[in-house]
Amino acid sequence: MCSISARQSGRGTSARRDKYRRGNMPMIALLPELNFDDSVFVTASNRFIKAFVATWQRIPADAKNVIMDYLGLRPGRAFLCFAMDLGDLPVEPLGRCSISENEIVFTFLAPYIQHAADPEGVFAVIAHELAHCHNHAMGTWTSNEAEEEQNTRRLAESWGFHPEPVPNPELLAGIERWKVSRKLEFGEHTEKRVFSLS
Ligand SMILES: [Zn+2]
């Protein structure tokens, strides 16, 4: 999933980060220019960090360099979200790469990261979002969503990841049960809220 946003244009990235840091735990660096907020979903965050490291290790070196160079121009932040409620899609995405003029924001569905029994699925979701970033960096990104998704799946597959991980019904049911039981604790930490803090 990939979104383009102009809403954050023209604001200073570092100022936003400082603002975010003041009200929350410090973010940790997944990459030199990609910070991750691990302060809310502790169990899912620990799993995500390990999965990110495993995913990154498997991405070809030239693709890593392309992504790193792009992050150098537009620093990235990553968040886990209680719900992926940005936009109104019929199926809730497992991850999203949102690009604005100044930065890249990666969001991932926390209960999916926490409950996915097959780590390959989590690796594939992370690789998919990094592949969108790679497309932007290479200038191959297209606003045609179907084409962009197809190109991204193909690229992630060429890196050795599953092109399109789809949670099975059991996992989807587990995600919904988790959401019901954790709504009081985590319900406010949605994708929309991540962007409202920006
Ligand atoms: Zn996508």
How do residues 70-104 score in pLDDT, each as one tens digit?
999 999 999 999 999 998 788 899 999 999 888 99
Instruction: Tell me the average pLDDT of the chain.
Output: 89
Q: Which residues surround ligand 1, an ion (CB under 5 A)?
A: 1-2, 149, 152
Between 150 and 24, the higher pLDDT residue: 150
Half-sphere exposure in the Cβ direction for 36 (13 Å, CA): 24
* 134 CA distance to ligand 1 middle (Å): 12
- Please indicate whether residue 53 or residue 4 has the higher confidence score (pLDDT): 53
Range with the poorest average pLDDT among 7-11, 109-113, 135-139: 7-11
Q: Domain ranges in the chain?
A: 2-196
Which class for 122: exposed (0-12), middle (13-18), buried (19 or more C-beta within 10 A)? Answer: buried
Q: Which two tokens stand for residue 138?
A: 């290479």
Residue 109 or 23, more confident: 109
Tell me, what's the pLDDT at 198? 61
pLDDT at position 101 is: 82
CA of 174 to the centre of ligand 1 (A): 23
What is the Å distance from ligand 1's center to 147 Cα?
Answer: 10
Q: Hey, what amino acid is at 161?
A: F
pLDDT, position 24: 52
Distance 23 CA to ligand 1 centre (A): 31
According to DSSP, residue 85 is labeled -
Q: What is the mean pLDDT of residues 129-153?
A: 96
Contact 116, 171 (CB under 8 A): yes
Cα 145 to averaged position of ligand 1 atoms, centre (Å)? 8
Contacts of 184 (CB under 8 A, 6+ apart): none
pLDDT at 197: 72
Task: Report pLDDT for 33.
Answer: 95
Nearest to 82 by CA among 110, 106, 105: 110
Taking the centre of ligand 1 as the mean of its atom positions, its distance from the CA of residue 93, in whole angstroms, is 9
d(CA 66, CA 116): 29
Tell me which DSSP letter residue 25 carries: P
Decide: residue 28, CB within 10 A, 0-12 exposed, 13-18 middle, 19+ buried: middle
pLDDT one-digit tens code per residue, 67-77: 999 999 999 99
